[in-house]
Amino acid sequence: MEYQALHDRLTARLNALSKAPKFGEQKPIGAVLEENGVSRRDFMKWAAGVTTLLALPASFTPLVAEAAELTDRIPVVWLHMAECTGCSESLLRSDAPTIDSLIFDYISLEYHETVMAASGWQAEHNLEEAIKNYKGRYILMVEGGIPAGSSEFYLTVGPMGKHGAEHAREAAANAAAIFAIGTCSSFGGVQAAHPNPTNAQPLSKITNKPVINVPGCPPSEKNIVGNVLHYILFGTLPALDAYNRPKWAYGMRIHDLCERRGRFDAGEFVQEFGDEGAKKGYCLYKVGCKGPYTFNNCSRERFNQHTSWPVQAGHGCIGCSEPDFWDKMGPFEEPLAFKPFSSIDADATADKVGVALLTATAIGIAAHAAISAFKKSE
Ligand code: FSX
Ligand code: SF4
Ligand code: F3S
């Protein structure tokens, strides 16, 4: 069977991991799920969904379920830099906990500034201890852009007055795997938007170790948990795109699987919010949707356990998982094709705009179609 060798390799890895000590005192995942009203059947359904998400055949579902059960064997250190905490919120704050958020509770979060009880000296001590005790074994997740160079001091954290960049460098040096969670950590994000007053940089500019980018402002809980499970299953880097995003999550454009795509192809566009076309679910390209330029799986996976996503809710994608989206994708409610060059400081960002236009051209066959349909409909 084509996948047998891979199946055997992952099984061996999970067997070895199951013999490793647990971190923390958590109850078994089965008990945690049951207390929260999640049946084994629901859990297996969820595992089947994650298996598809990771582009694995359905026969791997029991392995994915086992990987979720073993998330207490891998310690996680989560650092906050300059951001809004939306990435953590996307995962941790829901009325009715999702399976993804329960899995995240169950993961041994050795250090996470938002959810841990410790503060001040104790918190700093916990971070140092986690880095020392779990040297080479922990997953590092970093949220937020990082003021760098002579601007490092703009992000000064904790009682020892350390810079965020110092924390990130130290934690990255001893990590087994490093994830930049969110667009800020992946590409700089909102604080790196022109004129980037604090010289905020992505995590990949702060450490020279390999960084897996998990962008989105915020990224979906599925993409965060999926990356942890991928690491547990494979122990290797996933296939990455040119921006170091895992291809299983960011390999297709929003536009490719959008439910309004048929409208786009037929040239049926919402002309302004609230019009007849909006009521009929027409394509949102003309009111600014950046789905044709944005690589992410929102149109396939949606948010909040598959409930909805921006385009379903009636607003275009704003390209939140793309580099420099604050500068390149705005104005958010107008088509990119209409962007006047002078709306951006041409001197400071000419290079970036060049890249944006090139990217738009390279991937923009469909966008051309949109523009011609657009012109036709005017
Ligand atoms: Fe916020 Fe995270 Fe956006 Fe950034 O998400 S949702 S500003 S990606 O770093 O907190
Ligand atoms: Fe969907 Fe936006 Fe593409 Fe229209 S332009 S089909 S709304 S992704
Ligand atoms: Fe972001 Fe677009 Fe998805 S705005 S959340 S990438 S639909």
CATH code (residue 311): 4.10.480.10
At which of 248, 263, 281 does a domain end? Answer: 248
Instruction: Reply yes or no on whether the pLDDT at 161 is more than 80.
Output: yes
Please report where in the chains the tokens 């999550």 appear, as a residue.
Answer: 249
Between CA 71 and CA 106 the distance in angstroms is 7
Q: Which atom of ligand 3 is found nearest the CA of 310?
A: 7
End of a domain among 194, 225, 248? Answer: 248
Q: How far, in Å, from the CA of 229 to the mean position of ligand 2?
A: 30
Tell me how many domains the chain contains.
2
> Does 260 share its domain with 235?
no
- Which pLDDT value is given to residue 323? 97
Structural domain boundaries enclosing 85? 2-248
Ligand 2 pocket member 260 (CB < 6 A): yes
Q: What distance in angstroms lies between residue 217's CA and the mean position of ligand 1's atoms?
A: 5
348 falls in which pLDDT band (50, 70, 90)?
A: very low
Rounded to whole angstroms, the Cα distance separating 5 from 3 reads 6
How far CA 335 is from CA of 291, 314, 317, 370, 371, in Å, comes to 11, 15, 11, 10, 9
Q: Is the per-residue pLDDT at 224 higher than 70?
A: yes
Q: Per-residue confidence at 365, pLDDT binned at 50, 70, 90? A: very low
pLDDT at 1: 62
Q: How many CB atoms lie within 10 A of CB 9?
A: 13
Same domain, 53 and 96: yes
Q: Are residues 134 and 191 in the same domain?
A: yes
301-324 pLDDT tens trace: 998 878 899 999 999 999 999 999
Q: How far is the CA of 253 from the centre of ligand 2 (A)?
A: 10
Residues 119 and 194 occupy one common structural domain: yes
Residues 283 and 371 in one domain: yes
For the CA of 283, the closest atom of ligand 2 is 4
Q: What is the CATH number of the domain that holds 8?
A: 3.40.50.700
My answer on whether 234 and 259 are in the same domain is: no
Do 173 and 37 share a structural domain?
A: yes
Alpha-carbon span 265 to 100, nearest angstrom = 35
Higher pLDDT, 115 or 311: 311
pLDDT at 173 over 80: yes
CB 252 within 8 A of CB 297: yes
Say whether both 373 and 282 belong to one domain: yes
How confident is the model over 50-81, as pLDDT tens digits? 999 999 999 999 999 999 999 888 899 999 99
Which is nearest to 61 in space by CA: 52, 71, 72? 52
Verify that 244 and 300 share a domain, yes or no: no
Q: How far is the centre of ligand 2, averaged over its atoms, from the C-alpha of 308 (Å)?
A: 15
Answer yes or no: do 213 and 90 share one domain.
Answer: yes
| 3-state SS string for 305-327 | CCCECHHHHCCCCCCCCCCCHHH
Q: Are residues 266 and 187 in the same domain?
A: no
Atom 3, ligand 2: which residue's CA is nearest? Answer: 255
Instruction: Count the alpha carbons within 13 Å of 328 in the hemisphere toward its beta carbon.
Output: 24
Give the tens place of pLDDT for each residue, 247-289: 999 999 999 999 999 999 999 999 999 999 999 999 999 999 9
Question: Do residue 78 and residue 198 come from a single domain?
Answer: yes
